[in-house]
Amino acid sequence: MSLYSLLFRCILTLSLHDLHLLLVLVLGWLILGLAGLLRPHRVGLVAAVLFPVGAVIALGVALLGGIALMAAHIPQVAVLPLGLPDLPFHVRLDALSGFFLLLLGVAGAGISIFAAGYFRSGEGTAPGLHCLQYHTFLASMALVVLADDAYFFMVAWETMALSSYFLVTSQHRIPEIRRAGFLYLLIAHVGALCILLSFGVLQGGSWQFTFDSMRSARLTPFWASTAFLLALVGFGAKAGLVPLHVWLPEAHPAAPSPVSAMMSGLMLKTAVYGVLRITFDLLHIRYWWWGVLVLIVGLFSGLFGAIFAAVQTDMKRLLAYSSIENIGLIFAGIGLAILFEAFNLRLFAALALTAALIHSLNHSLFKSLLFLATGSVLHATNHRSLGKLGGLIRRMPWVATLALIGTLAIAGLPPLNGFISEWLLLQSFLFTPQIPHAFLNMVVPLGAAALVLIAALAAYVMVKFYGIIFLGQPREASLAEAHDPGWLERLGLAWLALGCVLIGVLPKIALRAAGSVTGALLGQAVNVSTPFWWIAPIAPAQASYSGLVLVGGIVVVVGITYVLVRVLAHGRVRRTVPWDCGYPWQTSRMQDTAEGFGQPILHMFGPFFRIERDTPSPSDCSPHYRIHIEDRLWRAIYQPIEIAVQHLSNAIGTLQGGRLATYLLYSFLTLIGLLVFVLWA
Amino acid sequence: MHHSHLIAELLKLLASILLLISFAMLSQRRTQRLITLFALQGVILFVSTCIVAYSAGLRELYYSAALTLLLKVIALPWIFNRLIHRLGIRWDSEPLVNIPITMLVGLALVIFAFGLAQPISMMATTITRNTLGIALAVILLAFLMMISRRMAVTQVIGFLAMENGLFFAATSATYGMPMVIELGIALDLLVGVFILGIFFFQIREQFESLDLSNLEALRED
């Protein structure tokens, strides 16, 4: 009892200074980044000191974020003595930012520990510079979540975009990577512009850009919808919602693996945060059609991402498309929450929002885990293409085991965390018949079918991912030299895997955390009055789940089987050559390939793709089948824009004739024009 | 009263001579003569500044007149003469626009400048206010000369002639600029001419000519 009260008191004191401590920690990240510049070309300092310290800071951020979710001294606000004159930076810590700080800290700690062992000198940017960009990226994400005025938010948002741009282009000598970086920066800026305009609408004529004044602004339905749509486009561009997703499958594979993990696991979540902040906090009203729109976009992105992930042959591209799918699911949850909330069904809205929040948290864990695992595979084998991997489970048992946890989690299998959020999301779909609108309550349940399809496809994708990389026979001779990474990288992977297991087995923790957020945003939280080992989000009579009981069941079944086989049956282990189907000359090229695995999907969803096949000639002695799959949306939307911009640029380019006299004439005519203007005015 | 009237008339006369020289520069194709005309402009500026200084009783203006004499009448023409001697320039190459048309455009510019200056000179209280239109015309004509010529040296002289116009505008509208600014401008001019002189040599070394149309090749396609 005394220990409990001591802990409670400790937390209480911490929570009083939560915000200030957080700002100190963020400052710590920035200082760590600058410290990397002390000896930029030496990997020792960066790996042995700076990244591990950064991971400890991340744990601190997670702790303080978690405390913010529990504490009563929320929201806390502060004004920083920074910024422009008359435009200081405002910061605020509330339940929503606390949740995303928790997510940032937990996943960021794992990635930082992994990165400590991962970055080597001689790979693109110098390690010290990497350290600066990396920690600036982390700090700016924390500040995005903490910002309480549009000005500071945009500063942090753009810092985030720029630092991640430099991280993506760390191997800038490769032209494709430069192109990927440019595409990323371009769409990031289009998105930022939309967000800026959205804030411009949200201030509602008061010309005060603090979030507080936006909360009190009362917009007309037209302007509220405009602000919402601008925010959706702006944040959707960062989140990778279709059709603004084109940068994502290019930029994520281009970046070094810890950076891919950060972008996919953490940065995409800041976009989720932005949408939630504007929709549920800054706007005073929500209309049901917003929810339907977000739901449709989310489900379409989910389906699109899952289908494209299924046909990828590059492991990091596959994961990038899988990120689009997961973001789609998160936005489907948000859309459903808006829909329920607009019809004042607050409990169901809380359920849908809880599902979206927990899925964000889960995705940050398992997607980071998988991206980091691909980094280990890449370092061990130098191959990114699935067609050159295989059989790594024997060479890299640590990575294979930990990646298996991530794979099962992302596939949505119990008792891991992916199952929890998908189950919650499906639960919330099942309540749509309660909506008092004739068409919606008939049409929206179709979304549940789409959700199940997406979940099944995601599982299919993950079987492909894991099976091709880790199972079967090695497809290249060089894979025999592959080996597990060092202990720092294993620790990072294990930390994230632990998170996946913990949330899966004890989902009550995540439910409580999300409950604080929905309580603050919607004034309603899902039911958390059950004991710690099971959950029943609406009511015990409706549906309940217990990860612990399931784990117990699994242990019992496995135990009984083991006993039956080893004790009651023969008990001997017999090792023998597997049956070769009567064909003794088997090579590793006879295994199912990544292309082969995706073939059924390619056939079923043919209209989604633009396919170019490269079929080898019959007389070729070592035939290789190649297939090039493209996104139809690129040609439909982006290419016309690209051509138009090119034409316009050429037209403007004629101004630059290279003749000095012409340039002087421009100045002269401008001068005369201005003088005429003066004369007339 | 009679005295100040005389001074005002004298200033107007000097201003007209300045304008005439500007036109002469616009039509002059020999580089040597152009430098002489530029020096002559400097002399006119020196005299007019001295007269304004005397009539307004401002001592700073004497300094600024001395600076003009030193820089624009002696130093710069001397530098230019040496430059063209070293570079072997005698004639400007064929101008981009032929000279009669340039003169006609110049005429239109003068009318425009007078129209522009009218409301401003209404507000000015100095005795030199009527010359503001001429000062503006000198600036615009110098600009026109920069546009219509090809050689680098001519363009630099045009640029300096523009500065002459600005200087004249300043003395006529507000009895000159503050001394600090004037010194700064003088230094800028001197440094600028030095740097441009270096450029001339570099350009000639690269293209074996000072014709600026060669620079068109630098354009990125």
Largest CA distance in chain A: 107
Which residue from B minimizes the CA distance to A675? B116
Tokens of A308: 């494209």
Contact A227, A278 (CB under 8 A): yes
Closest CA to A105 of A141, A149, A159: A141
Which residue from A minimizes the CA distance to B221? A653
B169 touches chain A (CB under 8 A): no
Could you give the CA distance from residue B189 to residue B79 in angstroms, rounded to a whole number? 12
Which residue from B minimizes the CA distance to A659? B216
Which residue from B minimizes the CA distance to A665? B147
Instruction: Estimate to the nearest angstrom the gap between the alpha carbon of A85 and the chain centroid.
Output: 36
Residue A181 has pLDDT above 70, yes or no: yes
Residue A197 has pLDDT above 70, yes or no: yes
Place of tokens 């190649």: A626
CA distance A170 to chain B (A): 28
**Are A668 and B143 inside 8 Å of each other by CB?**
yes
Q: What percent of chain A has pLDDT over 70?
A: 98
Interface test with B, best of A649, A655, A660, A677 (most B CBs within 10 A): A660
In this predicted model, what pLDDT tens digit does every residue of A127-142 receive, in sequence order? 888 899 999 999 999 9
Could you give the CA distance from residue A506 to residue A535 in angstroms, rounded to a whole number? 9
Which residues are bridge partners to A630 per DSSP? A610
What is the distance between the terminal CA atoms of chain A, rounded to a whole angstrom? 82
**Are A675 and B146 inside 8 Å of each other by CB?**
no
**Are A658 and B218 inside 8 Å of each other by CB?**
yes
Which residues are CB-neighbours of A350 under 8 A, at least 6 positions away?
A: A337, A515, A518, A519, A522, A524, A525, A526
CA distance A668 to chain B (A): 7
**Are A657 and B219 inside 8 Å of each other by CB?**
yes
Q: What is the pLDDT of residue B176?
A: 67
Contact A146, A93 (CB under 8 A): yes
Residue B119 has pLDDT above 90, yes or no: no
Which residue from A minimizes the CA distance to B116? A679
Could you give the CA distance from residue A243 to residue A262 in angstroms, rounded to a whole number? 22
Q: What is the pLDDT of residue A300?
A: 94
Interface test with B, best of A650, A675, A680 (most B CBs within 10 A): A675
Asked whether the bond before A243 is cis by omega within 30 degrees of 0, the reply is: yes
B212 touches chain A (CB under 8 A): yes
Residues of chain B in contact with residue A671, where contact means CB-CB under 8 angstroms, are 140, 143
Residues of chain A in contact with residue B119, where contact means CB-CB under 8 angstroms, are 679
**CB nearest to B213's CB, from A659, A664, A675:** A659
Interface test with A, best of B143, B144, B220 (most A CBs within 10 A): B143
Could you give the CA distance from residue B50 to residue B58 in angstroms, rounded to a whole number? 10
In this predicted model, what pLDDT tens digit does every residue of B187-213 receive, in sequence order? 788 778 877 877 777 777 777 776 777
Residues of chain B in contact with residue A672, where contact means CB-CB under 8 angstroms, are 112, 140
What is the distance between the terminal CA atoms of chain B, rounded to a whole angstrom? 66
Tokens of A315: 């492991």
Which residue from A minimizes the CA distance to B159? A664
**Are A664 and B143 inside 8 Å of each other by CB?**
yes
Q: Beta-strand (E) ranges in A488-531? A: none
**Are A671 and B217 inside 8 Å of each other by CB?**
no
CA distance B50 to chain A (A): 30
In this predicted model, what pLDDT tens digit does every residue of A425-456 receive, in sequence order? 999 998 888 888 878 888 888 889 999 999 99
Residues of chain B in contact with residue A664, where contact means CB-CB under 8 angstroms, are 143, 146-147
Helix (H, G, I), strand (E, B) or coil at A91: strand
Q: What is the pLDDT of residue A12?
A: 67
**Are A658 and B217 inside 8 Å of each other by CB?**
yes
Residues of chain B in contact with residue A660, where contact means CB-CB under 8 angstroms, are 155, 212, 215
Give B169-200 as a DSSP string. HHHHHHSS--HHHHHHHHHHHHHHHHHHHHHH
Give B98-164 as a DSSP string. -HHHHHHHHHHHHHHHHHHHHHHHHH--STTGGGHHHHHHHHHHHHHHHHH--BHHHHHHHHHHHHH
Tokens of A274: 């932005």
Chain A residues whose C-beta is within 8 A of a chain B C-beta are: 656-661, 664-665, 667-668, 671-672, 675, 678-679
Could you give the CA distance from residue A426 to residue A413 in angstroms, rounded to a whole number? 14
Amino acid identity at B30: R
Which residues are bridge partners to A87 per DSSP? A84
Tokens of A596: 């082969």
Q: What is the pLDDT of residue A200?
A: 93
B218 touches chain A (CB under 8 A): yes
Tokens of B87: 């570079």
Could you give the CA distance from residue A174 to residue A152 in angstroms, rounded to a whole number? 34
Which residues are CB-neighbours of A600 under 8 A, at least 6 positions away?
A: none
When pLDDT is cut at 50, 70 and 90, the band that residue A73 belongs to is low
Residues of chain B in contact with residue A678, where contact means CB-CB under 8 angstroms, are 116
Could you give the CA distance from residue A176 to residue B112 in angstroms, rounded to a whole number? 56
Could you give the CA distance from residue B41 to residue A588 in angstroms, rounded to a whole number? 90
When pLDDT is cut at 50, 70 and 90, the band that residue A620 belongs to is confident
| Distances, alpha carbon A381 to alpha carbons A376, A388, A389, A392, in Å | 9, 9, 8, 10
Which residue from A minimizes the CA distance to B158? A664
Determine which helix (DSSP H) or strand (DSSP E) holds B166, and give its type and residue range: helix B152-174
Q: What is the pLDDT of residue B221?
A: 56
Contact A235, A191 (CB under 8 A): yes
Closest CA to A549 of A415, A355, A426, A413: A415
The rounded mean pLDDT for chain A is 89
**Are A665 and B219 inside 8 Å of each other by CB?**
no
B116 touches chain A (CB under 8 A): yes
> Number of Cβ pairs closer than 8 Å across A and B?
38
Could you give the CA distance from residue B89 to residue B14 in angstroms, rounded to a whole number? 31
Residue A337 has pLDDT above 60, yes or no: yes
Closest CA to A138 of A119, A177, A111, A98: A111
Helix (H, G, I), strand (E, B) or coil at A474: coil
Could you give the CA distance from residue A78 to residue A22 in angstroms, rounded to a whole number? 12
Tokens of A290: 């917003």
**Are B215 and A658 inside 8 Å of each other by CB?**
yes
Q: What is the pLDDT of residue A534?
A: 84
When pLDDT is cut at 50, 70 and 90, the band that residue A230 belongs to is very high
Which residue from A minimizes the CA distance to B137? A672
Q: Is the dihedral of CA A96, A101, A103, A106 positive or negative?
A: negative
B144 touches chain A (CB under 8 A): yes
Closest CA to A415 of A557, A548, A555, A540: A548
Which residues are bridge partners to A613 per DSSP? A627
Q: What is the pLDDT of residue A2?
A: 66
Contact A257, A372 (CB under 8 A): yes
In this predicted model, what pLDDT tens digit does every residue of A281-327 receive, in sequence order? 999 899 999 999 999 999 999 999 999 999 988 999 999 999 999 99
In this predicted model, what pLDDT tens digit does every residue of A355-384 receive, in sequence order? 999 999 999 999 999 999 999 999 898 888
Bigger pLDDT: B163 or A586? B163
When pLDDT is cut at 50, 70 and 90, the band that residue B117 belongs to is confident
**Are A665 and B112 inside 8 Å of each other by CB?**
no
**CB nearest to A675's CB, from B116, B148, B215:** B116
Closest CA to A265 of A372, A396, A160: A372
Residue B123 has pLDDT above 80, yes or no: no
Residue A536 has pLDDT above 90, yes or no: no
- Number of neighbouring beta carbons within 10 Å of residue B4: 10
Q: What percent of chain A has pLDDT over 90?
A: 56
What does the DSSP 8-state code read for residue A506?
Answer: -
Residues of chain A in contact with residue B210, where contact means CB-CB under 8 angstroms, are none
B147 touches chain A (CB under 8 A): yes
A87-93 and A609-614: which strand pairing?
unpaired
> Averaged over B62-87, what is the pLDDT?
87
**Are B143 and A671 inside 8 Å of each other by CB?**
yes
Interface test with A, best of B98, B146, B166 (most A CBs within 10 A): B146
**Are A661 and B215 inside 8 Å of each other by CB?**
no
B213 touches chain A (CB under 8 A): yes
Tokens of B204: 């000639």
The interface predicted TM-score (ipTM) is: 0.82
Place of tokens 């107007």: B12
Instruction: Report the residue count for chain B.
Output: 221
Q: What is the pLDDT of residue B56?
A: 80
